[in-house]
Amino acid sequence: MKYRKLGRSGPEVSEIALGSWLTFAGGIQKEQARATLEAAFDAGITLFDTANMYGRGAAEQAWGEMLSQHSRESYVLATKVWGPMSETDSGLSAPQIAKQIDGSLRRLRTDYVDLYQAHRFDTSVPIEETIEALLLVVRQGKARYLGFSEWTPEQIRAAVDIAGPDVFVSSQPQYSMLWRAPEAEVFDVCTAAGIHQIVWSPMAQGLLTGKYLPGKPLPADSRFAHQEMNAFQDIVWSDQALEAVQRLVPVAEQAGLSMPQLALAWALRRDELAAVIIGASRPEQVHSNAAAAGVHLSDETLQQIESALGDVPVTGPRLAMYAEEGVLHR
């Protein structure tokens, strides 16, 4: 495993992070989940990312039980706030943040989280109120550092202006070969503020594994067969993309990598990244994905990737639209 600094002032984290959205929120059996988590420790993974809304607390509760078997200093724990926990509990108002951090800590069985992230931006609350409430969480010792996910460049600049330097250390955007929107501006804005990226969906929710074939039905047990994936399909899914991914298979083979390893190494080629989040559900997936840490892709391989992708659209306005409308509850 390789490790990178998170922000100018944040902790050192593993290049590969383990996420918990569909898996630890009840998508896999408890013993399988425990084995997957233990495999992450075996592989040297230190960054574990979750959110209060994953299974409405189920993922945090599962991790609280499993992580309690490990020394608190042996891992970096990140969770998020914003998404709906009930019909009345959601958003980034001061009362909600105060309530939700306590709920997260209780489920996670810890006194603090290393990274507390605003899961999305809340346009219904003044940003000053949100930032001050998050800063209070830090002052109270309930979180060490702050982050955000899918915020616009303007929102990021405003947050840093209010909070000051070295408090926000992370940004969590969607980023992969098939979705490169953060390259346009978010990466540069964050770099100027000393903020690093922890990217989600580096394998395009599994599309870049190569298991989805053009003209074939979705495997019943696949991630894209999950109902919650409908919004993501509209972002990266197309026959054109599926065909391009199949052209990537020999590129990965020539590089001596699996398709997931190629996708992860491609994302990690950027110095702006601190880590990529994987959503493994089996121990062998964890170990295979972890092997992407430290992999250097040659210029020839990078050129072959671009040639294979051809004219597949890799960015656009749709993600911002979904985030604003609250459709992307990831």
Instruction: Give 11: exposed, middle or buried? Use CB within 10 Å, 0-12, 13-18, 19+.
Output: middle
Q: Is 129 helix (H, G, I), strand (E, B) or coil?
A: helix
Count of beta carbons in the 10 Å neighbourhood of residue 73: 6
Helix or strand (DSSP H, E) at 63: helix 58-67
Contact 78, 112 (CB under 8 A): no
Of 3, 54, 75, 322, catalytic? 54
Please confirm, yes or no, whether 54 is among the known catalytic residues. yes
DSSP codes, 36-58: HHHHHHHTT--EEE--TTTTTTH
Count of beta carbons in the 10 Å neighbourhood of residue 330: 25
Q: Is 315 helix (H, G, I), strand (E, B) or coil?
A: coil
Contact 174, 149 (CB under 8 A): no
- Catalytic residue annotation: 54
